[in-house]
């Protein structure tokens, strides 16, 4: 993990001491000890100025990433090791009480950017690889927000806390399974959108394939995966053609941004930088 020993802080940082991911976000839970080390996380909403600071301050990791501890963690935990989404439902819960949105680790941007830099042998600028890395991680987590809003629309109709039940009964038990359709869709959608430097897509797809099976399953049929996720969330069933068509229709709603109405249109994205002071 990238921890500068003499940190140069991004502009307008907000600091929080000893924070770790908790049960209300989809990030991997971590703990920060021992007592003789002071550890901090700095949150800063991502802006052009902050990205400029990131691109100027971050240096590529060594060319051989095969044994790098962060890449090993990605192989085991997927994108959520590098970034995570915290629902607006849990605004006052840890991590980061009072904040909700997308939290992208600086070390995650650096690792992904370094992977691209090594894959393409540095043919493009390192800042361009960092930008593609940031865009990929942001879009992956943004899908989780859109999915959260889609579930909320059904909760308002049913008057039931579907999202909480889904997290406990579906997402967590199937976290690393090929049947974790939410993470499959998040990667598929993130990689299908425009805006990347065209030559970086192949490298990002390879990066995704190094993750656990639900993240790596990016060549599946996107409508079938969306329909399967809709079925898991809404507990529809039955082998009839009508039921299958209904699932595919619900799956299309998951993928259709125009279906999301109401508040919380766009989550704030935060850069999370960790520093150790001894």
Point out the least confidently predicted range of 65-74, 76-85, 248-257.
65-74
Looking at residue 223, its pLDDT comes to 87
Residue 128 structure tokens? 């361009």
Nearest to 148 by CA among 166, 128, 124, 170: 166
Looking at residue 129, its pLDDT comes to 93
Model confidence at 140, in pLDDT bands (50, 70, 90)? Answer: very high
pLDDT at 37 over 70: no
Whether 82 and 136 have beta carbons less than 8 Å apart is answered as no
Label residues 78-116 b or e (16+ Cβ within 10 Å = b): bbbbbbbbbbebbeebebbeebbbbbbbbbbbbbbbbbb
What DSSP designation does 244 have?
A: H
Whether 39 and 276 have beta carbons less than 8 Å apart is answered as yes
Looking at residue 58, its pLDDT comes to 76
Nearest to 109 by CA among 278, 272, 275, 276: 272
Cα-to-chain-centroid distance, residue 210: 15
* Of 249 and 91, more confident: 91
Share the mean pLDDT of the chain. Answer: 77
pLDDT at 189 over 60: yes
Report residue 154: phi and psi, to 5°.
-80, -30
Looking at residue 44, its pLDDT comes to 81
Point out the least confidently predicted range of 86-90, 148-152, 234-238.
234-238
pLDDT tens-place string over residues 42-62:
778 887 777 777 777 777 776
Q: How far is residue 130's CA from residue 139's CA, in Å, rounded to a whole number?
A: 14
pLDDT at 200 over 90: yes
Whether 137 and 82 have beta carbons less than 8 Å apart is answered as yes
Among 7-21, 27-41, 162-176, name the most confident range: 162-176
């Amino acid at each position: 993990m990238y921890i500068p020993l003499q940190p140069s802080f991004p502009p307008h940082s907000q600091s929080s001491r000893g924070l770790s991911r908790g049960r209300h976000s989809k990030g991997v839970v971590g703990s920060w000890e021992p007592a003789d080390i002071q550890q901090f996380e700095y949150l800063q909403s991502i802006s052009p100025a902050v990205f400029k600071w990131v691109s100027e301050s971050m240096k590529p990791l060594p060319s051989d990433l095969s044994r790098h501890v962060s890449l090993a963690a990605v192989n085991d935990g997927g994108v959520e090791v590098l970034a995570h989404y915290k629902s607006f439902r849990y605004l006052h819960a840890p991590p980061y009480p009072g904040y909700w949105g997308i939290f992208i680790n600086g070390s995650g941007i650096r690792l992904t950017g370094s992977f691209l830099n090594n894959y393409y042998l540095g043919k493009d600028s390192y800042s361009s690889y960092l930008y593609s890395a940031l865009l990929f991680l942001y879009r992956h987590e943004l899908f989780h927000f859109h999915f959260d809003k889609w579930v909320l629309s059904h909760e308002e109709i049913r008057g039931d806390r579907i999202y909480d039940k889904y997290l406990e009964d579906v997402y967590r038990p199937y976290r690393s399974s090929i049947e974790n359709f939410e993470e499959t869709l998040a990667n598929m959608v993130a990689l299908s959108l425009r805006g990347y430097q065209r030559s970086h897509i192949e490298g990002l797809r390879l990066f995704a394939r190094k993750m656990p099976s639900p993240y790596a399953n990016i060549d599946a049929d996107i409508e079938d995966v969306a329909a399967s996720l809709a079925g898991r969330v809404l507990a529809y069933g039955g082998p009839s053609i009508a039921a299958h068509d209904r699932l595919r229709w619900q799956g299309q709603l998951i993928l259709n941004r125009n279906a999301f109405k109401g508040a919380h249109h766009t989550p704030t994205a935060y850069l999370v930088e960790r520093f150790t002071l001894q």
